[in-house]
Chain A
Amino acid sequence: MGEIVAGFGVPHTPMFPALVAREGPQCETAQLYRTVAEHLGAIKPDALIVFDSDHLNTFFLNNYPNLSVGVTDQTSGPNDGTPGLPHYVVPVAEDIAARLYGFGLESGFDLALAQEFDVDHSILVPLHFLTPHMTLPIVPVFINGVVHPLPAARRCFALGQMVRTAVEALPASRTVAVLASGSFSLDVGGHLSPRGEFAGTPDVGWAETVLAHLRHGRINDLLNEATSERMARAGNVAGELLNWIALMGVLGDRRPSFLEPQIRMGHAYGVWRWD
């Protein structure tokens, strides 16, 4: 029997490793990641499922999966030249990944199978801050958050529910935490970026709405409002919210024990604990 023991959510802004190296451990971003890292360190799970949106670095449009599970024993990266990150090798909990993949298919989720892949900043920036020794095995679950039209929010929530059931059906006793990676409102290189900027937050109001729904556990409202069209107005990578929605599917009706935004950047840091 596996057990879901905690949930976490963080941004993966590619500039953050270099920014924290420059500004030091007392800067706001370093402190926020450290708070999340301390919770994760206290929980000490056996594995970390990561809901993530590849930025067309692991997969490309010749065959882009909407939902995919990485089933292998290790991965590495970054494969997109993220400044300030060393080359990391990350263990993958292959047995859990394989069970999740198989259980997903049996449950009606037509997951794509990825058995040889490297990963970009969207996985490695969070791990750089949360598990810098890279000893905690991950299970990467890729959700399309950047290529429109996006998968439906309710489908991603159901994916999270399936992941929970799959973990609870594991044959061995394992503790599993879940991490969501991504922003609520962010545009990179697109016309929704603020004038004169390469990237930015087009829709702080939407980020505030998402944050309030998460804080008060209003998941049904979030699922109703997070349409592909609504997320598109919040920026060309704002579909990363789907990773948080999948996390909510895993966690069920829980309120966060810690939820702190950097609202001008359209993202937040969250912890769900019940131990």
Chain B
Amino acid sequence: MSIYFVHKIAQLVAKDSAFRERMKREPAAAIAGFKLTDEERRALLAGDVGRLAQLGAHGYLLGHLARNEVLGLSMRNYPQRIHDPGSTV
């Protein structure tokens, strides 16, 4: 069920401006309090949305991370990353 917290983080990025700003400033600290697996935490901090999708994350919610430009993601690099797990172009 821990993928729920990946979804929750993406949702907070879209809906909560204070959390969004913290995700831009100090992402590791911003997600420290969420119950994530080591793999989820690593993939999130690397902006590895392709891996997160493999782990069961919903693309519609992951897209919030690109729309709001956190974790090194943007609408420009997101399409390649979602298709290529491990990619950090």
Q: Which of B19-27, B35-43, B77-85 contacts A (4 or more CB under 8 A)?
A: B77-85
B58 pairs with A236, CB closer than 8 A:
yes
Query: Is B11 on the interface with A (CB-CB < 8 A)?
Result: yes
What is the total number of residues of chain A having a CB less than 8 Å from a CB of chain B? 21
Specify the chain B residue showing the minimal Cβ separation from A147.
B58
* Contact A193-B60, Cβ < 8 Å, known A56-B11, A61-B8: no
Q: Which residues of B contact A192 (CB under 8 A)?
A: 59
A188 pairs with B80, CB closer than 8 A:
no
Question: With the chains together, A56 CA to B61 CA distance in Å?
Answer: 8
Chain A proximity of B73: nearest CB distance (Å): 11
Query: Is B45 on the interface with A (CB-CB < 8 A)?
Result: no
B79 pairs with A236, CB closer than 8 A:
no
Chain A proximity of B38: nearest CB distance (Å): 22
Q: Which residues of B contact A187 (CB under 8 A)?
A: 59
Specify the chain A residue showing the minimal Cβ separation from B78.
A198
What is the total number of residues of chain B having a CB less than 8 Å from a CB of chain A? 20
Question: With the chains together, A236 CA to B63 CA distance in Å?
Answer: 12
A189 pairs with B59, CB closer than 8 A:
yes
A191 pairs with B83, CB closer than 8 A:
yes
Q: Which residues of A contact B82 (CB under 8 A)?
A: 189-191, 193
B4 pairs with A188, CB closer than 8 A:
no
A237 pairs with B60, CB closer than 8 A:
yes
Chain B proximity of A17: nearest CB distance (Å): 17
Interface residues of chain A, those whose CB is within 8 Å of chain B, are 55-56, 60-62, 80, 146-147, 187-193, 195-198, 236-237
Chain A to chain B: the 4 pairs with minimum beta-carbon distance, closest first: A190-B59, A189-B63, A189-B59, A236-B59
Q: Which residues of B contact A188 (CB under 8 A)?
A: 59-60, 63
Question: With the chains together, A196 CA to B77 CA distance in Å?
Answer: 9
Complex partner residue of A196 from B4, B63, B80, CB under 8 angstroms:
B80
* Contact A61-B7, Cβ < 8 Å, known A193-B59, A198-B79: yes
Question: With the chains together, A191 CA to B80 CA distance in Å?
Answer: 9
Q: Which residues of B contact A80 (CB under 8 A)?
A: 14
Question: With the chains together, A188 CA to B79 CA distance in Å?
Answer: 10
* Contact A56-B60, Cβ < 8 Å, known A61-B7, A61-B8, A189-B66: yes
Specify the chain B residue showing the minimal Cβ separation from A188.
B60
Specify the chain B residue showing the minimal Cβ separation from A199.
B63
Interface residues of B in 35-89 (CB under 8 A from A): 50, 53, 58-63, 66, 75, 78-80, 82-83
A191 pairs with B60, CB closer than 8 A:
no
Question: With the chains together, A197 CA to B61 CA distance in Å?
Answer: 16
B60 pairs with A196, CB closer than 8 A:
no
Chain B proximity of A39: nearest CB distance (Å): 31
Chain B proximity of A260: nearest CB distance (Å): 27
* Contact A198-B75, Cβ < 8 Å, known A189-B62, A193-B59: yes
Q: Which residues of A contact B59 (CB under 8 A)?
A: 187-193, 236
Question: With the chains together, A100 CA to B66 CA distance in Å?
Answer: 39
A198 pairs with B66, CB closer than 8 A:
yes
A190 pairs with B53, CB closer than 8 A:
yes
Q: Which residues of A contact B11 (CB under 8 A)?
A: 56, 60
